[in-house]
């Protein structure tokens, strides 16, 4: 795996140098975004699991609007099984892909009810057995509901900024995660994606990132101020 990280750097930056750059980057981002945290509203592990399933191909803002009513109507796994698929589809329709998400929610609710006594399991292997749950969702739940550092959440912001920082050249979330696991101190595995998401929304946007306002610009090989080429354009 070390080879994967090394190859995405145009320079001959060593693995230890890359890790030190990541540590310095994290320190600066923590100062810039002291309130960075999971942006999906939830009060327990089950609500977070539901919200994360709904967040696929949907903004967190939209999910929070939907779950404000959803969590009042459905408070435990059995509640999702007590309604028809059509009723649940209507309740979550605005999040997109609502038919597939309904199957995932009701399938997950069934497993939780029948296998785990209605509770959300707290291991990666058990979570990955739930319908509609992949590593990203499992990492979100483990890290933010249970404080378990099993991996690093990779979403579009994390993927984009990891590429720009030269932390990974991989194109799939699972492979990017494996590169990041080598570089990010384990103590920061949960907060790291929240920091990148906050930075991605405010500064390091997909198009026309504000490199001149970036607190980590000096550690970014893709900066417009260094290359003269605007990232994302």
Q: What is the pLDDT of residue 232?
A: 81
Boundary residue ending a domain (121, 145, 169) = 145
Query: Is the pLDDT assigned to residue 55 strictly greater than 60?
Result: yes
Q: Are residues 139 and 156 in the same domain?
A: no
69 is catalytic: no
Residue whose entry in the numeric block shows the structure tokens 């990010």: 184
Average confidence score pLDDT of the chain: 94
User: 193 falls in which pLDDT band (50, 70, 90)?
Assistant: very high
Please measure the distance between the N-terminal and C-terminal CA atoms of the chain and give it in whole angstroms: 30
Q: Are residues 104 and 120 in the same domain?
A: yes
CATH of the domain at 185: 1.10.1670.10
Structural domain range at position 13: 2-36+152-224
Q: Is residue 231 assigned to a domain?
A: no
Q: Are residues 51 and 132 in the same domain?
A: yes
Q: Are residues 107 and 31 in the same domain?
A: no
Q: What is the pLDDT of residue 9?
A: 44
Catalytic residue among 136, 202, 212, 226: 136
Over residues 126-142, mean pLDDT: 97
State how far the alpha carbon of 206 is from the alpha carbons of 5, 29, 161, 210, in Å: 22, 18, 9, 10
Who's near 69: CB < 8 A, 6+ residues apart? 91
Q: Are residues 59 and 80 in the same domain?
A: yes
Residue-wise pLDDT tens digits, 27-37: 999 999 999 99
Number of compact structural domains in the chain? 2
155 is catalytic: yes
Catalytic residue among 37, 76, 155, 175: 155
Contact call for residues 203 and 210 (beta carbons, < 8 A): yes
Boundary residue ending a domain (110, 145, 180) = 145
Choose between 171 and 8: higher pLDDT.
171
d(CA 57, CA 20): 33
Q: What is the pLDDT of residue 151?
A: 98
State how far the alpha carbon of 99 is from the alpha carbons of 47, 143, 214, in Å: 19, 28, 40
Q: Are residues 108 and 163 in the same domain?
A: no
Q: Is residue 229 assigned to a domain?
A: no
Candidate from 71-75, 128-132, 180-184, 226-230 with smallest mean pLDDT: 226-230
Q: Are residues 18 and 57 in the same domain?
A: no
Q: What is the pLDDT of residue 3?
A: 47
């Amino acid at each position: 795996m070390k080879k994967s990280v090394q190859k995405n750097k145009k320079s001959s930056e060593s693995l230890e140098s890359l890790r030190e750059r990541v540590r310095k980057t994290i320190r600066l981002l923590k100062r810039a975004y002291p309130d960075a945290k999971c942006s999906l509203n939830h009060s327990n592990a089950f609500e977070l699991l539901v919200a994360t399933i709904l967040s696929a191909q949907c903004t967190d803002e939209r999910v929070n609007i939907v779950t404000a009513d959803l969590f009042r109507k459905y408070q435990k796994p059995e509640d999702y099984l007590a309604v028809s698929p059509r009723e649940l589809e209507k309740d979550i329709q605005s999040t997109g892909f609502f038919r597939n998400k309904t199957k995932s929610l009701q399938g997950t609710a069934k497993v939780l009810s029948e296998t785990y006594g209605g509770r959300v399991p707290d291991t990666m292997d058990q979570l990955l057995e739930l319908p509609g749950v992949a590593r990203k969702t499992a990492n979100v739940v483990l890290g933010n509901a249970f404080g378990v550092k099993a991996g690093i959440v990779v979403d579009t912001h994390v993927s984009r900024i990891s590429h720009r920082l030269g932390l990974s050249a991989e194109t799939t979330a699972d492979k990017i995660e494996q590169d990041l696991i080598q570089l990010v101190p384990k103590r920061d595995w949960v907060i790291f994606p929240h920091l990148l998401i906050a930075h991605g929304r405010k500064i390091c946007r997909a198009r026309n990132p504000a490199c001149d306002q970036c607190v980590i610009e000096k550690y970014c090989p893709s900066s417009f101020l260094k290359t003269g080429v605007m990232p994302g354009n």
